[in-house]
Amino acid sequence: MAQSTLKQPQAVMSELRRDYQLDDEDEILTFLERHPTVAPLLLDIRSNIRRFFGEDVVRLNLSYDPEWENDQPELFVNIQTRMSPQDALMRLKAFDTEWWLKKLTEAKAPIVVSLHLI
């Protein structure tokens, strides 16, 4: 097995499991190894999501277009919320403007924070 570029990859995944539901841990770990600055950012993202959405479940999953061979996957941070659409969108906008858009520019990583109304 190749050496991971992440420090303590299993500890990182364990920490992420506490804050997120993970769709495919192997794919997410591969993504984090490719983008090592993303793992600590995910912890910041989760703490800031709590500011706006409380303890709503947040799911991590990768998405890519299989029709484009060289398409790089994007990591989706999906906030699972029971809020009304209007309230959820208002909170997502506040999350974006008060914190996320600045961090996203700094991170330069293919991450998308989105809502999933349940």
Residue 93, in any domain of the structure: yes
Q: Which domain holds residue 66?
A: 9-117
Answer for the pair 115, 95: CB distance below 8 angstroms, yes or no. no
pLDDT at 67 (0 to 100): 73
The average pLDDT across 60-72 equals 81
23-54 pLDDT tens trace: 999 999 999 999 988 999 999 999 999 999 99
Residue 110, in any domain of the structure: yes
Q: What are the beta bridge partners of residue 116?
A: 80
Indicate whether 83 pLDDT > 80.
Answer: yes
Residue 56, in any domain of the structure: yes
Give the mean pLDDT of the chain.
90
Residue 3, in any domain of the structure: no
Answer for the pair 115, 89: CB distance below 8 angstroms, yes or no. yes
pLDDT at 7 (0 to 100): 76
> Number of folded domains in the chain?
1
H-only helix segments in 1-118: 9-19, 25-34, 38-53, 85-95, 101-107
Q: What is the CATH number of the domain that holds 84?
A: 3.30.300
- pTM for the predicted model, two decimal places: 0.89
